[in-house]
Structure 1
Amino acid sequence: MDKETFCKAQPAAARILKQMLSGNRMAHAVLFWGPRGVPSSEAAELVTQALVCRNPDPDGFGCGKCLECRNAAEHRGIGVYWNSRLQKKNAAELQEQFSLTSEGSRVCVLENFDEATPQAANALLKFIEEPQPGITVILTAGERSAVLPTIESRCLCIQLRPMPEKDRAKALTQLPEDLRQAAASAGYGPEDFPEPDEFLERIMPAVKHYITLWDVPDGLLFLQLEVFPARAAQTTRSMVRLFFEALQWQVRQSELEAETKAMVFDALIQGVEAVKRTADPSLAIDQMASRIRKGINHDRT
């Protein structure tokens, strides 16, 4: 996403950034936050480019053409540290990296910081609280309230607004047509699917078939053996979460009774949260399927 596109889509955030960058008053720590689908990664890239660029424009944004800007767009470069899922060992790594470089602007970007482990977040508290000269920390999060208060209070918090659902659906051209609306409804945007994946073609058919089996043991077996086998390439957090969101959308469109829908939604919400926490997304699938099967059979008794 270039500067013009970002400024048009996020005018409030763009104004704040222009004021800081053009006046050389960049905050030492910034938190970009907003629901799934907002351009938080793109915002982090723009700020990183602005801080390392050799030839910034009058608003302070990067030129996008120099080596430093190109490297920043690829989440690399001297003085740039980029991490999308922080763990405690990463906190030690980044502090060691910055201790070895002391010249020029240095940028630390930590995406999905609301999903960082408490140990990792606490390990960075002093790094953010007492920044070294020339270091800027950029955090992104879906939920501002999920960031440790001791860290959130030390950041300039900038809210990003999501793209309208109908626009997201139109932009999700890399998804099969029957999955676009479900993904858009769940807040997904084009940036969530940077590369084509043939498994995406199978998600909605799998959702519809699972619904016909979810009240019997074969439903769980279908998910375990045919959709998300253990250690299969598609059995990832992101794909399992997308399946849960697509299933929720399909149930919402169905004619199931309100109580059944509420039960399924509750199981899926718990499933999404479990995907965030567990290292093995297969466990979240097993738990979700078991809750739905028990809930549906309980309603029938």
Structure 2
Amino acid sequence: MSEYQYFEFLAVDKPLNARMQSEVRKLSTRAVITPTSFTNTYHFGDFRGDPRVMMHKCYDLHIHVTNWGTRRLMVKVPAEALSGVADDYTVDPYLTAEATGKHFVFDFTSEDDSADFTEEAEGWMASLARVRDEITMGDLRPLYLGWLAAIGTAQRNEYAFETESEHELEPAVPAGLGDLTGPQQALADYLRIDTHLLAAAREASSALPSKAQATAALRKHIAKLPESTKNRLLLAVAQGRYAAVQAELARVTGDVRRSDHQPRTVVALLDHADRAREAAHRSRGRSAAR
């Protein structure tokens, strides 16, 4: 099979001006570049740019897909959206968080050189882009999925982590893992999360609060805000800085969306998933025998 690499970048908050487009053009003569996107496919050679630098300077989302099993997603969100929790879900090198100015850049990576491959990377960005909005709004499910995909690497590669890492505790389990949004399900698929591992994780996840409960909590909080804060937030909205305002208000309902449970160890989660997988295999065997 010939080499295949797909690169795509997306600018959401601030489109690139002519000068910035000219700068990124220097990185590839064949890329399709618009004020909001950069896309290129390689069947030979390699991309001359540094995705990390491009995310810092120009873009809000990035995907990289190869035919040797790499799937990478980078997401840039306002730092205030995740104050105090950004590092809780990181598992180097599979999910990292880097502070850059007023933002965090999350870097999700899945490696599986044994996976089947089809050249359909062009559709992933459309499926995954709204994950950024969800993280900005304080939804921690995408970050937990990134953590879960990272520890799931041990199912494919027993040498992925040091032995002592198996006894580390999971981060806070967000509510609603049993009711993933479309972008979150796409993220689980993109990161190749084992269905039995995801099912095991869901057992500790409570249901999401109803829309009425979330609205009531937000209304109560807004009523208590000083007038100066309300004016500041309203001015930010008028100036188009919706994400920053959403992130600040989202922190109000963030605690409501977390499940209250005893954290499990990595090895306990993996063992639970293994038992479920073995039980499903035996059940399929009995069905086939009948």
Higher strand share: 2
Higher helix share: 1
Q: TM-score, normalised by structure 2?
A: 0.27
Q: TM-score, normalised by structure 1?
A: 0.26
